[in-house]
Amino acid sequence: MTQPFYVSPEQLMKDRADFARKGIARGRSVVVLGYDEGIAFVTENPSGALHKISEIYDRIGFAAVGKYNEFENLRVAGVRYADLRGYSYDREDVNARGLANAYAQTLGAVFTTESKPLEVELAVAEVGADQDSDQLYRLAYDGSVADEPGFVVMGGAADKLAERVRARWTPGMSLPEVLALAVQVLSGTGKDARTIETTNLEAAVLDRTRTRRTFRRLSVHTLTELLDQAPAQPPEQAEEASQPPAEGTDAANGTASSPDHP
């Protein structure tokens, strides 16, 4: 009879975290940015049918990176959660905080109890009456929640991209400005820079000027028009190379320290 090897809980959690991070880092990043009249979601997604961004409820949007089948499952659960809540109380009583909580509990429970953690990272956004009352939550594979002010970047190379967004994003930017910023950030810099075709972008907004259902997908046509309206982007300072790679800082659990991008 063989004795099972002893694995310390630290090692077990670290292995799971590393596994989840690797899965997430394989996906293309998603950028969620607040602007003066709402919240914009942008990602690179060649598929027009398999969405990474979607509507949850009147004022709540959802974005995800990682394994499609896993986040699609969570997205459907979120829609059911929100619709059930709105049906049994009122449409006004559905909020992003409750949803983020339910997601966090689910991700956390799967991370600790099941054989494989979910390889997903989620963003839940709720548009408010003004930019100060917008809510943005970022949920990691282990159930940790971060309440992010203003913007969220997820996916492979998230830390690096977040740094670049942080340097340029300010409250009160217009929709064309944040879209141009998102596209520039997603396109990479330096020797990794490339051009992303507008047809390969998936973009949507939660538009606070709309009543009831505020979520709206931006068609290729609309997106092209909006990007044309944006003022020319100032070239980014070439201080990328001098920055230390931000390692192991994105997840609030602090268990893992491997870089989450190749």
Q: Which one, 16 or 51, has the nearer CB to other proteins?
A: 51
Entry field: residues in the chain: 262
Q: Shortest distance, CB of residue 91 to other proteins, whole angstroms?
A: 10
> Which of the 8 DSSP states describes residue 131?
G
Please tell me the distance from the alpha carbon of residue 94 to that of residue 43, in angstroms, as a whole number: 26
The CB-of-185 to other proteins minimum distance in angstroms stands at: 26
Q: What are the residues binding other proteins (CB under 8 A)?
A: 49, 51, 54-56, 73-74, 76-77, 79-81, 83-84, 86-88, 101-103, 105-106, 108-109, 113-114, 213
Least distance CB 217 / other proteins (angstroms): 9
Q: How far is the CB of 16 from other proteins (least distance, A)?
A: 15
Task: Evaluate whether 185 touches 210 at the Cβ level (below 8 Å).
Answer: no
Q: What strands lie across the sheet with 30-35, from one edge to the other? A: 151-154, 30-35, 38-44, 201-207, 215-218
Nearer Cβ to other proteins (124/157): 124
DSSP per-residue string spanning 146-205: EE-SSEEEESTTHHHHHHHHHHH--TT--HHHHHHHHHHHHT--GGG--PPPGGGEEEEE
Nearer to other proteins among residue 54 and residue 135 (C-beta)? 54
CB of 109 to other proteins, least distance (A): 4
Are the beta carbons of 196 and 202 closer than 8 angstroms? no
CB closer to other proteins, 22 vs 91: 91
CB of 15 to other proteins, least distance (A): 20
Of 49 and 232, CB closest to other proteins: 49
Q: Which is nearer to other proteins, 76 or 252 (CB)?
A: 76
Q: Are 147 and 136 in contact (CB under 8 A)?
A: yes
Distance CA 70, CA 87 (A): 26
